Amino acid sequence: MTLVPVVHAFGLARTAADASEDAYAVDVDVARFALADGASSAWRAGDWAAALVASWVSTPRPRARGGGPAEGFARWLEGARKAFVPEGAAPADQAWFATAAAERGAHATFVGLELTGLGGRRPRLRAFAVGDSCLLHVRADRLELATPIDDPAAFGSHPQLVSSLSGSPAPAPVVTETAVQADDLLLLASDALAAFLLRLAADGDAVWPALRRIDTAGFARLAGEGIASGLLERDDLTLVRIVLAPAPVAAPGGSTSPGGSA
């Protein structure tokens, strides 16, 4: 059976007057997906988040040279840094405080996902996460895993961040690998939203089947109700929903029918 990622994304800024500093990118053809949350106190945080996710989906997976996944991640990150803003690129007439901010760099949390073997017998996911942007893996409306944080009480105000400064130490990502199968639901969620969803699930709310069906209006309602109840922090909110659907199977005469066992 061949699996096809069916992707939808939803997002809301902290307020209507603000631009979101979250960013996401997807490339279904290579089965890579990413979400980053720019640290609001940092210089060009939203731009750095966008650069990170764009680099993830356009660059081959991190490969180690004997040092494990963390080494591969560090090499990919350095490439993303060099493609972002060259050191010293701030305009000469820029105010001193803006120049100082640029020298401190931009920062963001990050989660990158890749899917492999979708046309074979053993499809798998591999995720790299730094900070509190999360991957949630749901099967048959039950949470299989949440990474890098699986406890809604464990989210805080000072997550580990990925810096844009070339040559600075690369953070060690939380690396997760597991099998996937048809109809699995994979969710990339920014921190406040991930904490909220985990809290709802812990309270017995049927949040996972609801997220399979949710549309843009429904996402806005869910966020509004969560903020009004005090269970959801007012923040930039981004969700990337990936459903692994069986690929259509060609039927006689050139039409297609729903996928089945190959």
Q: Write the pLDDT tens digit of every residue in 6-56.
A: 999 999 999 988 899 999 999 999 999 999 999 977 678 999 999 999 999
- The pLDDT of residue 85 is 66
Residue 250 pLDDT grade (very low, low, confident, very high; cuts 50, 70, 90): low
**Which pLDDT score, from 0 to 100, does residue 257 have?**
41
Residue 176 has pLDDT above 60, yes or no: yes
Provide the pLDDT for residue 105.
Answer: 87
Peptide bond into 148 cis (omega under 30): yes
- pLDDT for 102 equals 57
For 66-89, how does the pLDDT look when each residue is reduced to its tens digit (9 = 90+)?
A: 668 888 999 999 999 999 963 445
What integer is the mean pLDDT of 98-123?
85
Q: What is the pLDDT of residue 69?
A: 84
**End-to-end alpha carbon distance in the chain:** 5
Do residues 246 and 260 make contact, with C-beta atoms less than 8 angstroms apart?
Answer: yes
Question: What is the pLDDT, as a whole number, of residue 126?
Answer: 96
Domains and CATH numbers, the chain: 3-257 (3.60.40.10)
Position 70 scores a pLDDT of: 84
How many residues in the chain? 262
The pLDDT of residue 165 is above 80: yes
Contact assessment for residue 202 and residue 195, using Cβ atoms and an 8 Å cutoff: no
Span 233-244, average pLDDT: 97
Q: What pairing do the DSSP bridges indicate for beta strands 237-246 and 142-147? A: unpaired
The rounded distance, in Å, linking the Cα atoms of 216 and 218 is 5
Of 4-18, 82-96, 167-181, 183-197, the poorest mean pLDDT is in: 82-96
At 247, list the tokens.
Answer: 């690929």
Q: What is the mean pLDDT of the chain?
A: 88
pTM of the model: 0.89
Q: How confident is the model at residue 101 (pLDDT cuts 50, 70, 90)?
A: low
pLDDT band per the 50, 70, 90 thresholds, residue 60: confident
Amino acid 62: pLDDT? 61
What is the per-residue pLDDT for 96?
A: 41
Q: Which residue has the higher pLDDT, 129 or 167?
A: 129
Whose tokens are 């069986």? That residue is: 246
Give Cα separations from 236 to 16, 29, 55 (angstroms). Answer: 10, 28, 21
Residue 88 has a pLDDT of: 45
